[in-house]
Structure 1
């Protein structure tokens, strides 16, 4: 969908050091009953340095945004999980699952944001420091009860769940905004201590009943109720520029907002099955109610009623499937609360309490074929979607060149996508190949400076791989991937953008005998210039040598990653209102010695013990 940016490239996570430890226990109880318990502890430290360049589209002109961002973050997570399976008799069983999560994190970041004209003339600048701490805990529990009744095929299922998430967020924000002459703008700067607490409680319960009408027809009835309640408290304090320990409550930004979504759903579905096909169709009726209580402004009381049809068809002998369904997506709490988010003074966001839910239609058609004698395969998918009351983000730039954003409902959005993949041996080359193409078109409406625009977003891709078929002495492959991306504005062709990303890769492994293996891989990424200032290229070359001992129960492997020391995280984003490229630090050249011991030499997933040395 056009509201969520589409990204291409490597992960921009920076340098991360992490430690994970876990415990998993399974206990078989009498009567084929089972108990499971697991616990995982994760500690991580991330050092991120990132340079981002954005081109924002405006009527008649574009704005450039440069951002230099550095952060150090730490996180500590405790996760508990338990499940209990009980079989009362041959017709009755239930499953209970529960989870508990505890998270603590802190982050210190510095950033410099600047807004420039297309000629790179400075318009404003934001020098910002953040120091925040977050504590979060959550728990959930689910119960599922299943009962087979006397008549064959007649079943009843009852399930329910409860959950809670509590989050506390403390942030010390020091953001100094300067004008085009680098003069400090006191009114636009933000020096604040921000205390935000949120609590979410939810529950869900329902029942499903299936009645066999005969040996081929089945009727299913279902009903359930959901409740999702969130309480938010924001207390923002302005800091004295001369003494940041002096705090004054900012009554305009300090708000409370409580909202509750309640859903009541009932439906019926009929299913037919024989040796040739399976067909089902049904409809659900959904009543949803939204109650919002802001500390400032009018309460929100709304009710929505929807009929949600669905259908599916599967042809057994031809591997052909068609699925159609409808769904409703309500606006999030951030989108609903009419409170200014000033955490980024050059990009200010404010929710819209007048939003209404999206209504979505989705259809998927799929086909797959595999010839087990000639080892040929074909996979194809087509997806179509139509969304009524699509929620998008409207933005406008004020006289201070500050970008103000708020969510709005548009009339509709439509999507069409497809992909096809084919593989086959090449006998005269004693090899095999795999080729695929994919395409995606999203047509919708966006708002730039409060003016609506019709926009088409095209994404097209191709991939090709050729590899040797017999891998007794060596394993070799060569491949390529291409991605073509276009934003087409029907009303303003000057805003059209395009770029191409390419990846070429080659791999070679030699099985030298006596359990020796040598392998190397080279990946060449080209992020084409297109609508960006210049192209970006990244070459990744790695190699390894390994030796197996004691019938391969012990395997020692020496690996060198990023031999050319060029690795970096590159990400490109194409949204409705801007294009963006981010380049971040990533782990560079290193050497790793990996020793794997397997109790069973045939084990497909040996547990490694590692020693790591980095250079």
Structure 2
């Protein structure tokens, strides 16, 4: 690997003298000469129409590197402005071509003596990118980016709390085109103020390799790019919050408090953001990965102390760019749950559990990109995560059939685990010769996952008592390399050849000791396992891409050979030898009807190797009534997926529509084999020499390969302003169907789960003084089992939400947040119909209304609940979790703003939404 790396690096550097040029310039408002941040700067190659583009930076400048000699059309465009085109000739052996200042005029009809007032256009669409104008959506003065984007068409918050755009989870949120705290969307959406946002872009971000070579291989992730207003590009802004108050709920006694600070220090390209917070009211301004840590628990009540730092900068006319972040989190969580689990064979399992956990986590990431010359660049992206988790859990479980108890258990379970996870990738890229599209690149990847821990287990049950200690050490990782070459084949065609190699070693050592003679000294061989394996894959592929102004299509195929080699050394020697040979086709198709309507189709195949825990043949008896064990005979999965998406926007009618249809089919899926004991039983899991004891009603689950697993999902969304643009209407509807196989007591069961969803959101656009959003989402779900149709069921859930912010007087505001949750068709005592009502009364203080004193009340009606239904091939389970309940809090908020960032009459706290000017639409920039 090292020889390959240095050889290719030397080759790339040796080619650095090829004739490539850089095209640069600035884009500004023709009237006030202000920079048009985020405008599109595009070079269109003649005659094949291949496009290369970038976004205009905070100073109005742009730079397009690696431009081959030839004739081009330069296109500058920005929302609310007239496009400007001009011919450009890039001569050979010229390092730089300057286009000077390109001035864009506001789009509109010039009227000399008429004053025209018009509402800003909500959105525009250019190909796959939808640009949403923040000025067209009114929110309250203290709203966050998250509050703003949920008013925008095509964006919503899913049932799992994740932000979705065009039916897909948002994987990353960029700020002015740069990462913000890594790939955590919540960091930007919960901390950036809405009044700093000029517009929001929705697009499918290509891989770094695809962006460089221009060969779009269909590997994308849904991304939001938040473009900030020019006045926020230089200076400090942020928010400090502090509050405390009593809790009146018996279930969650004690004082409640929260304190947080987010501070942004922006100076053109250099940007620093600091986040800190401490609270015991489940507040977090980051993703769940930091809160959950190594415990895997969710819900309950958490006390959190966290801090983070994000830094970005560029040098040498943006030839060198650096972005990095660090985050620390300490979370103390208490959790109580009750579970009602109905198995398809008729057995009932009921459980009450309580746990406390303490989690420490550190994570850091870096993105370093350097352009060695106009044709050669290097991209390095390392990351590091470290976590430690300590958990103490008590559990009482009971199994029964037809009301007759079968077995019961009481368990005390403590763990002390830690993990260390460094990873990274290095991408070396080079443009070759003078023809656009001829490139070569090398990608090196690596990751390491080290985990160690100790578990203590004490149980009393109707069959046996346990007192054990288990020590676990696991080491796993990956090393990989991909070499790719792209070659233009004609005016509209391009080919790509790739070769990849990946090596993934895994080692696991779990030893369990029984308490004997005052110490944990007797090795329990039935619960001990030592094994190692490695997974080696290599393959090559060819792809062809066709590109015109209206049609973009690609088709490709790759061959892959995968070898799984493993050796179990304890309790008995057991070798594993598998070789898999696969052909992996893929295809993409995109048809651009016009600038605002497009259709995309994507077909992909991929393989997935079993995880370390799925392979390890050792019993996990943390709950002796619910045992699990791995299977060393597992084989890899092979999945087909097909996605079709249609998007359309109508700037004249200010409407938008998208429709999504996606499905997948998995060959050889890794499913579960479940054994539910009718009486006390000794079980030997498949492919192992282990002997597991199951009490009556107990369950043993083991991974196994089955067949016929598939999913199908469709979703559509429509949004537009109504009532003279005073309200925004967003409607969505969808349906889903999935089939999952599983073995239950040797019987093959297919769990089929059809579902129908519909939702409606109505948000205000009346005034920044009156801001409300009313939404309701309903889901009708069905559970159909082929093994036992008597347990088929259907259940209905509906979540409705009203958020209101009303400025009723000078600096006086009333806020109300009402959520209604309805569940029907669950187990007895789990059906729910409740209201969660939060409200506050605030008064603005200080110059510029920078400060606010607020009295806040959480869960005024004392009805907060948390219920979840889980469906598997073996059972349907309803779980109720303790949650935070009623408390009062007196809060103080201070908005950190220089005078230049304070709202004006034309650009109010919500961004205004109107444009005024003489002679038509020549008003404030950005309309």
Comparing both chains, which one has the higher relative contact order based on Cα–Cα distances under 8 Å and sequence gaps of 6 or more? 2
Please name the residue that 2:408 is paired with: 125
Mapped pair 1:16 → 2:302: yes
**1:172 Cα deviation after fit:** 0.7
CA shift in 2, pair 1:433/1:523, >3 Å: same
Q: Which residue of 2 aligns with 1:40?
A: 327
- 1:551 pairs with one of 829, 848, 854: 848
1:312 is displaced (CA, Å) by 0.7
With 262-271 and 444-453 compared, the bigger mean Cα shift is at 444-453
**What is aligned with 1:593?**
891
Residues 491-530 of structure 1 mapped to structure 2, 5 A cutoff: 492-530=788-826
Q: Secondary structure at the match of 2:574?
A: coil
Gaps of 5+ in 2: 1-157, 162-296, 680-695, 910-927
Q: 2:591 aligns with which of 315, 319, 323?
A: 315
Contact 1:419–1:437, Cα closer than 8 Å, also in 2: yes
Is the Cα–Cα contact under 8 Å of residues 12 and 584 in structure 1 kept in the other structure?
Answer: no
- In structure 2, do the counterparts of structure 1 residues 164 and 425 end up closer, same or farther at CA, with 3 Å as the change threshold? closer
Deviates more, 1:367-376 or 1:531-540: 531-540
**What are the residue-to-residue correspondences of 1:449-488 with 2, within 5 Å?**
449-488=745-784
Q: Among residues 472, 477, 480, which one is paired with 1:201 in the alignment?
A: 477
Aligned partners of 2:472 and 2:830: how far apart in 1?
41
Deviation string 1:76-111 (CA, Å, 9 cap, x unpaired) is 122233332222111111012222322222111111
When residues 382 and 244 of structure 1 are mapped into structure 2, their CA distance, relative to the original with a 3 A threshold, is farther
Q: Under a length normalisation based on structure 1, what TM-score does the superposition of the two structures give? A: 0.90
Contact 2:776 2:798 in 1 (8 A): yes
- CA drift of 1:530 comes to 4.2
How far the C-alpha of 1:559 sits from its partner, in A, is 2.6
* Aligned 8 A contact 1:544 1:558 in 2: yes
- Out of 314, 321, 337, which is 2:616 matched to? 337
User: Partners in 2 of 1:505 and 1:26 — Cα distance?
Assistant: 37
The residue that corresponds to 1:350 in the other structure is: 629
Mapping 1:148-297, distance limit 5 Å: 148-150=431-433, 151-178=435-462, 185-186=463-464, 189-240=465-516, 245-295=519-569, 296-297=572-573
* Whole-angstrom CA distance in 2 between matches of 1:85 and 1:145: 10
C-alpha displacement of 1:424: 3.3
CA contact (8 A) 1:171 1:194 kept: yes
Task: Name the CA distance, whole Å, in 1 between partners of 2:740 and 2:366.
Answer: 44
Deviations 1:124-150 (A, max 9, x none): 111101121112212123211111111
- 1:430 positional shift: 5.2
Say if 1:530 and 1:193 are closer, same or farther in 2 by CA, change over 3 A: closer
Matching residue of 1:364: 643
Displacement of 1:532: 4.5
User: Does residue 326 in structure 1 map to residue 605 in structure 2?
Assistant: yes
- For the 8 Å contact 2:853–2:890, the answer to whether it is kept is no
CA distance in 2, matches of 1:272, 1:345: 58
- 1:252 is paired with a residue whose SS is helix
Report the more deviating stretch, 407-416 or 297-306: 407-416
Q: Using a 3 Å threshold, how does the CA distance of structure 1 residues 546 and 212 change in structure 2: closer, same or farther? A: farther
Instruction: Answer whether contact 2:826 2:878 (CA < 8 A) is retained.
Output: no
1:475–1:580 distance in 2 versus 1, CA, 3 Å: same
Aligned to 1:564: 861
The one of 374, 384, 396 equivalent to 1:112 is 396
Work out the CA distance in 1 between the residues paired with 2:830 and 2:311.
54
CA distance in 1, matches of 2:326, 2:786: 54
For residues 454 and 30 of structure 1, do their structure 2 counterparts lie closer, same or farther at Cα, with a shift above 3 Å needed? Answer: closer
Equivalent of 1:385 in 664, 668, 688: 664
**Pairing partner for 2:428 from 145, 148, 163:** 145
User: How many residues of Structure 1 are paired with residues of Structure 2 in the alignment?
Assistant: 585
Residue 345 of structure 1: CA displacement?
Answer: 1.0
Question: Whose strand fraction is larger, Structure 1's or Structure 2's?
Answer: 1
Q: Distance in 1 between matches of 2:858 and 2:866?
A: 15
* CA distance, structure 2, for counterparts of residue 291 and residue 134 of structure 1: 28
CA distance in 1, matches of 2:826, 2:879: 15
User: Is 2:739–2:753's contact at 8 Å kept on the other side of the alignment?
Assistant: yes
1:517 and 1:534 mapped to 2: Cα distance?
37
Deviation of 1:531 (Å): 5.0
Contact 1:220 1:270 (8 Å CA) reproduced: yes
- Which residue does the alignment assign to 1:71? 355
Contact 1:104 1:134 in 2 (8 A): yes
Distance 1:8 1:126 in 2: 34
Instruction: Name the residue aligned to 1:181.
Output: none
Secondary structure of the residue that 1:437 maps to in structure 2? strand
Given candidates 376, 387, 390, the residue that maps to 1:92 is: 376
Q: Where is the helix percentage greater, Structure 1 or Structure 2?
A: 2
Q: CA deviation at 1:475?
A: 2.6
* Change in 2 beyond 3 A, CA 1:102/1:409: closer
TM-score by length of 2: 0.60
Query: 2-side partners of 1:592 and 1:334: how far apart?
Result: 48
